[in-house]
Amino acid sequence: LPWPLIPAGECIRATALGASEYSVQLSGNTSYISKPGELLPRRNLQVLQPPYFCEETIEPDKLAKAIRAHFTAFDLVEGEGDVALALRWQGAPSYERVLAFAEGIRHGLATTIERKKPLYLMLDGDVAQTLGAILREELLVESEILAIDGLVLRDFDYIDLGRVRMPSFTVPVTIKSLLFSEDPRRGRPPQRIHHHEHQPNDHGHGHGHGHDHDHDDHHRHDD
């Protein structure tokens, strides 16, 4: 063609497996971000969601084993590259349970922590601020830590993390998923790209348990 080609700033791709679909969601959550300037922004972090579900008594070794096994299942070497570790939280957010949860993460990401690489932790339960503080202040993890809650992520998702927005102290999180004709993730409904904004709070252990969600219209792109 005789015309110059200009690279697109943002792209949504379609593959032989399926097309992308997205929606926009805004939510406010308590988060833990040790150093926003070093941790953000980040693009295309692969999501790993180990099949671990919290029991009444959380066993750190069981969680650590699930994390390590999931890296192996995806042919990834823990500690080599950055990933977003998505974890489910169930039950009371007591100190003892969150501490055991943090210990499991520390053991499961031992090489990452030994190399002082950043931790990107995504949780569906409202415990991110407490979890991050325990990892940093009590377990003495020297890696930079970003923990965001109120997110439901799954394997094969990728996320983009934007810079902290002032003066609202929000972090834009874009969750990108493929829409499969037959979803390989245990038969769940087609996944969509979501956009979340989270309010980071870097200090203290206390946090609220409520979430407010506003949903915009869904959009589908079939390229």
How high is the pLDDT of residue 5?
72
Phi, psi (5° rounding) for residue 101?
-60, -45
Number of neighbours of residue 15 by Cβ within 10 angstroms: 10
First-residue to last-residue Cα distance in the chain: 21
How high is the pLDDT of residue 186?
53
How high is the pLDDT of residue 166?
75
Contacts of 92 (CB under 8 A, 6+ apart): none
Residue of 190, 155, 198 whose CA lies nearest to 174: 198
Q: Per residue in 75-133, pLDDT tens?
A: 999 999 999 999 999 999 999 999 999 999 999 999 999 999 999 999 988 899 999 99
Which single residue is written with the structure tokens 């579900």? 53
How high is the pLDDT of residue 13?
52
Q: Structure tokens of 107?
A: 């053991």
Q: Per residue in 156-210, pLDDT tens?
A: 889 998 887 777 667 788 888 876 655 555 555 544 444 455 555 554 444 444 4
Higher pLDDT, 170 or 155: 155
Residue of 181, 152, 139 whose CA lies nearest to 29: 152
Distance CA 136, CA 105 (A): 12
Q: Per residue in 39-61, pLDDT tens?
A: 999 999 999 999 999 999 999 99
Does this model's pTM top 0.85? My answer is no
How high is the pLDDT of residue 223?
46
Residue of 218, 16, 35, 205 whose CA lies nearest to 118: 35
How high is the pLDDT of residue 61?
98
